[in-house]
Chain A
């Protein structure tokens, strides 16, 4: 099995540092885009915002604005969640996610929840455990380096 490795610096001792972050891109389901292109539709290049790697989150979460902008595939309009402010429903989407510039393999379809990212300027996505379970993520505290090792394919 081929493995991709991506390594980047992170300083956990800087209180202004939001955490270990990675560039990402989400789009509508790829086959749907290809079908659209085949009949002449044009699709703008997706934005490449920043995501926070968060082992505390069970799911990957992106901003609602980004979910709408990228026209993700809605799979549940009422996904129940609990936050520090109480219980509420949120929208669940599905789409492929890639990590430009990292060499990490694209994930063809991933469950993504959408939330408002109030006043959060550092990132527009939280990479949760539904993605992290595919990777081997290591943090070298002395070297202040994060290493992600990802197989080309994943079987749970």
Chain B
């Protein structure tokens, strides 16, 4: 049986909503855990994390994604 990779469900939820969210919340951060996501969108990654902790707790990981129409690739050394 295949083992799900971490946050696989959350990444699918994000892709399912990416187009809609990109129209209304471009550049904002969204917080997703399993099939649930916060109704608020955030300007800063850190604010999104704190809101996720408040809503979902810290026992399990949740996904934080910045919303772009296509995924940017950042250069790092």
- Tell me which residues from 80 to 105 in chain A have a Cβ below 8 Å from any Cβ of chain B: 80-84, 87, 92, 94
A24 CB to nearest B CB, Å: 17
A113 contacts which chain B residues (CB < 8 A)? 76
Task: Give the interface size class of chain B.
Answer: 20 to 34
Alpha-carbon distance A57/B76, docked complex (angstroms): 6
Nearest-CB residue, chain A, relative to B75: A82
Q: How many residues of A are in contact with the other chain, CB < 8 A?
A: 35
Residues in B with CB closer than 8 Å to A2 are none
A35 contacts B by Cβ under 8 Å: yes
Q: Which residues of chain A have C-beta atoms less than 8 A from B76's C-beta?
A: 57-59, 61, 81-83, 113, 115, 128
Which residues of A come within 8 Å of B, CB atoms?
28-29, 31-32, 35, 54, 56-59, 61, 73-78, 80-84, 87, 92, 94, 108-111, 113, 115, 126, 128, 130, 156
Q: A59-B74, A75-B62, A76-B7 are in contact. List 20 more A-B contacts (CB 8 A).
A: A31-B53, A32-B59, A35-B58, A56-B77, A58-B74, A73-B61, A74-B61, A75-B61, A76-B65, A77-B6, A77-B11, A78-B11, A80-B73, A81-B74, A82-B73, A82-B75, A84-B77, A94-B64, A108-B46, A156-B44
Interface residues in chain B, defined as those with a beta carbon under 8 Å from any beta carbon in chain A: 5-7, 11, 43-46, 49-50, 53, 58-59, 61-65, 71-77
